[in-house]
């Protein structure tokens, strides 16, 4: 089992990816301690060996989508972390100081300490 640290309402797992195994219809991340986790094919396109994945361990109350935060390794050519979560309310588009549009999205039932995310218009178009 992956190492877990305590949180106020749940236990969290944070592990470094040692190997990614692409199997038929599933992608498995193998952690440095030998434990594994299955991830979606979409998320697999954004993770690599050396990245660190954080996620809440399953609880009885967890009925919404899977929350995962991927911290990119220092060796990554583009240092962009990835956050997979279910979102709720999204604000109307606003302009930032550079004149670029963005929205703020509410995180539903987040357990990693993130309550909202800022999404730029270029990301929404993609």
In the three-class reduction of DSSP (H, G, I as helix; E, B as strand; rest coil), residue 49 is classed as coil
Residue 103 exposure: Cα atoms within 13 Å on the Cβ side? 15
Burial environment of residue 78 by CB neighbours within 10 A (0 to 12, 13 to 18, 19 or more): exposed
pLDDT at 53: 92
Instruction: Kindly report the average pLDDT of the chain as a whole number.
Output: 82
Judge whether residue 18 has pLDDT over 80: yes
Distance CA 124, CA 69 (A): 19
User: Where do the domains of the chain lie?
Assistant: 4-125
Q: What is the mean pLDDT of residues 76-99?
A: 86
Fill in the DSSP letter of residue 97.
T
pLDDT band at 51 (very low <50, low <70, confident <90, very high): very high
Q: Percentage of the chain with pLDDT > 90?
A: 38
Q: How many helices (H) and strands (E) does the chain have?
A: 2, 11
pLDDT band at 24 (very low <50, low <70, confident <90, very high): confident
Distance CA 14, CA 4 (A): 7
Q: Which residues contact 96 (CB under 8 A, 6 or more apart)?
A: 102
| Alpha helices per DSSP H over 1-126 | 41-44, 121-125
What's the first-to-final CA gap in the chain, in angstroms? 36
């Amino acid at each position: 089992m992956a190492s877990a640290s305590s949180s106020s309402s749940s236990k969290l797992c944070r592990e470094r990816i040692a190997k990614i195994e692409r199997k038929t219809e599933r992608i498995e991340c193998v952690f440095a301690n030998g434990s594994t986790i299955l991830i979606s094919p979409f998320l697999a396109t954004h993770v690599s060996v050396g990245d660190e994945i954080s996620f809440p361990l399953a609880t009885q109350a967890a009925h919404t989508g899977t929350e995962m935060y991927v911290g990119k390794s220092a060796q990554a050519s583009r240092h962009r972390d990835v956050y997979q979560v279910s979102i709720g309310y999204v604000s109307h588009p606003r302009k930032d100081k550079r004149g670029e549009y963005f929205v703020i999205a509410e995180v539903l039932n987040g357990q990693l300490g993130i309550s909202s995310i800022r999404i730029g218009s270029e990301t929404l178009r993609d």
